[in-house]
């Protein structure tokens, strides 16, 4: 694992962890289609070129196609100089797709200086931690929406784990236990951890201070409270106002640093945060 000096240098290059987001960009590779849980707010769709939100991608890539895209992007005078991070964030859950690990291996072989980053629901973190360690994963984002298994049962309609499908409180218990254990292990290995918490008004508001306290204790680096985009089972829920989001971020800043530049990117975003150059790259390729 990296020394603390190397680690700091890498954080400074990572736009989604508070690094210079006006200068440093990231490339998301949409190689992970399957998911092992169902969040009430999630809709995953393809071929939505003009839609920018998590879970959306124009086209799934195989690991071999992904490395070709990385070569193109790194060779381009527009994107090459700014891309510092290769992220895998879906459109499903990266840890539930072997293609994720194969893609990181291919990237590491040709571009060892690019920061490897992944976003996960955390269910398989304890199982996959040895693989992540061997890959030299630097940055890990875990979506943690509650510490309370009962509330988990309302947010997740099911959790599929080791061949069995769970629902209700039992699903919440397995997921929360693995998320917390995974975060603890990742921090012990020196990974830089961001916690995504989707603020679902009326469902998990009261959990936010408990989550920020717990993840700080476990060694997370920064928290990203994200507003609910109302869709799927949660289409009827009113999203939080910008004022409410600011207020929560301000309150929890005292406990753990808050990331405020998140633009809730697509699973295939390329470029600076808030910008998506993926169409230009696709057409050029
Ligand atoms: C598509 S996920 C990919 C990684 C992984 N499957 C996960 O859920 O952490 C990226 C992030 O977007 C969030 N997200 C997905 N749908 C959302 C929605 N409707 N509103 C707000 N955040 C959402 C997820 O909770 C997660 O933090
Ligand atoms: S874990 Fe991620 S991909 Fe899976 S259902 Fe939840 S938001 Fe969607």
* 70-81 pLDDT tens trace: 999 999 999 999
Which residues, in sequence order, are CB contacts of 208 under 8 Å at separation 6+?
A: 197, 199, 225, 248, 252
Give 50's pLDDT tier (boundaries 50, 70, 90): very low
- Stretch 28-48: mean pLDDT, rounded? 86
Containing 277, the helix (H) or strand (E) segment is none
- Which residue's CA is minimally distant from atom 3 of ligand 2? 92
* 259-277 pLDDT tens trace: 987 666 666 777 766 665 5
Q: What is the mean pLDDT of the chain?
A: 88
- Stretch 95-120: mean pLDDT, rounded? 97
pLDDT at 267: 63
Is the pLDDT at 284 greater than 60? The verdict is no
- Separation of CA 5 and ligand 1 centre (Å): 31
The ipTM, to two decimals, is 0.98
User: Which residue from 94, 143, 175 has its CB within 8 A of the most atoms of ligand 1, so it is best to mutate?
Assistant: 143
- Ligand 1 atom nearest the C-alpha of 55 is 1
Ligand 1 proximity of 231 Cβ (cutoff 6 Å): yes
pTM as predicted: 0.89
Verify cis geometry, omega within 30 degrees of 0, for the bond prior to 91: yes
Interior CA angle at 198 toward 87 and 254, to 5°? Answer: 95
- Stretch 229-249: mean pLDDT, rounded? 96
Residue with more model confidence, 129 or 279: 129
């Amino acid at each position: 694992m990296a020394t603390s000096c190397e680690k700091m240098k890498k954080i400074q290059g990572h736009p989604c962890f508070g690094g210079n987001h006006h200068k440093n960009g990231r490339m998301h590779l949409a190689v992970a289609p399957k998911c092992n849980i169902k969040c009430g707010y999630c809709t995953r769709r393809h071929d939505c070129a003009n839609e920018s939100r998590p879970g959306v991608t124009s086209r799934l890539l195989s690991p071999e196609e992904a490395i070709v895209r990385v070569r193109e992007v790194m060779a381009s005078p527009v994107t090459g100089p700014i891309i510092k991070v290769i992220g895998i964030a879906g459109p499903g859950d990266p840890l539930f797709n072997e293609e994720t690990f194969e893609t990181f291996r291919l990237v590491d072989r040709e571009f060892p200086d690019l920061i490897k980053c992944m976003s996960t629901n955390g269910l398989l973190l304890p199982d996959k931690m040895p693989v992540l360690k061997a890959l030299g994963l630097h940055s890990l984002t875990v979506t943690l929406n509650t510490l309370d298994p009962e509330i988990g049962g309302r947010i997740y309609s099911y959790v599929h784990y080791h061949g069995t499908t769970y629902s209700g409180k039992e699903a919440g218990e397995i997921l929360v236990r693995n998320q917390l254990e995974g975060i603890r292990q990742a921090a012990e290995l020196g990974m830089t951890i961001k916690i995504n918490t989707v603020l679902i008004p009326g469902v998990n508001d009261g959990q936010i201070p408990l989550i920020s306290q717990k993840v700080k204790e476990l060694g997370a680096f920064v928290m990203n409270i994200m507003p609910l985009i109302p869709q799927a089972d949660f289409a009827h829920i009113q999203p939080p106002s910008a004022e409410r989001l600011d207020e929560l971020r301000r309150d929890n800043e005292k406990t753990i640093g808050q990331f405020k530049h998140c633009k809730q990117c697509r699973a295939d975003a390329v470029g600076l945060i808030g910008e998506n150059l993926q169409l230009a790259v696709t057409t050029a390729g």
